[in-house]
Amino acid sequence: MPRPSCAQLEDALRRAMDRWASAHPFLRFASVNGRIAAQLPPPDSRDPWRGYGAEIDFFALDPEAYPKVGRLGAWTSLYALLAAPMGTNGRLLPGGTITSADIVFNARSCYYLDPGLAGSSCNHFESLALHEIGHALDLHHPGQHRGRNFDSDTNPLNVIPIDCLDPARGLRLSPFIDERAVMNRGLGEPMPVIFALTNDDLGGRNFHYPICPGARPAEWLRGRLTAGRAVARAAWRGTLSALAPLAARALSVAARLSH
């Protein structure tokens, strides 16, 4: 108490997104509230990967309305195409192309905004948002997938150098993880206060969104992706494949988030 306002929740979401974009020349988030309504894929949708709502939508729903949240604080669903993505290095990269993500907070869970309340059995809202946005960027839980974690060495605390043109170069499997990483959270445990991304978190970010030395301003990549978006629309009609932009992501906060 007092109950947070919708503006306070939006500010927390913006701060969380800005932390992932910090010091990255291309990764940006922009609010589309009032322009694009948050929307989940309809239950009978046969092509949820085509994207509903904004590129990233936030919701607060009961488990009855969204069973995936169950007893969790939040759940992130990704939708993707089996098409090579245009990387932030301006090159086609191997893998699939994320088209959108839905981040659903459990309306039955408890949260707090004031970091001074740390230690309670509730979730720190902003830190949980930071974690879920990491999922939207395609990062997972290191502690649950120790046999599938990559590093440049066996030290989980130092910087992970990422080759901008070949992100996988120099990486190898490593069972050692940074316990402090924002992405290293177990399912069902309350989210503590975590404001800083670790080198592990940033290494994962830079692997998916490579940064080349001397990279030009974001406007350059936005122009490249705008051209790619036109190609994608044409390809979508014919082959149901597209090159969806991953650099500039948008958010739309559902009205129910304040309920």
pLDDT tens digits, residue range 10-33? 999 999 999 999 999 999 999 999
Residues 66, 45: Cα–Cα separation, whole Å? 15
pTM (2 decimals)? 0.82
At 60, which helix (H) or strand (E)? strand 56-61
Instruction: Name all domains of the chain by residue range, CATH numbers in brackets.
Output: 6-258 (3.40.390.10)
Neighbours of 194 (CB within 10 A): 22
Q: Which tokens is 110 given?
A: 């408890």
Under 8 Å between Cβ of 12 and 231: no
User: How far apart (Å, rounded) are the C-alpha atoms in residues 111 and 133?
Assistant: 17
Instruction: Give the C-alpha separation, 194 to 130, whole Å.
Output: 8
Kindly state the helix (H) or strand (E) to which residue 225 belongs, with its residue range. helix 218-239
CB atoms inside a 10 Å sphere around CB 196? 10
pLDDT tens digits, 233-250: 322 322 222 222 323 333
Q: State the pLDDT at residue 222.
A: 52
Percentage, residues of the chain above pLDDT 70: 82
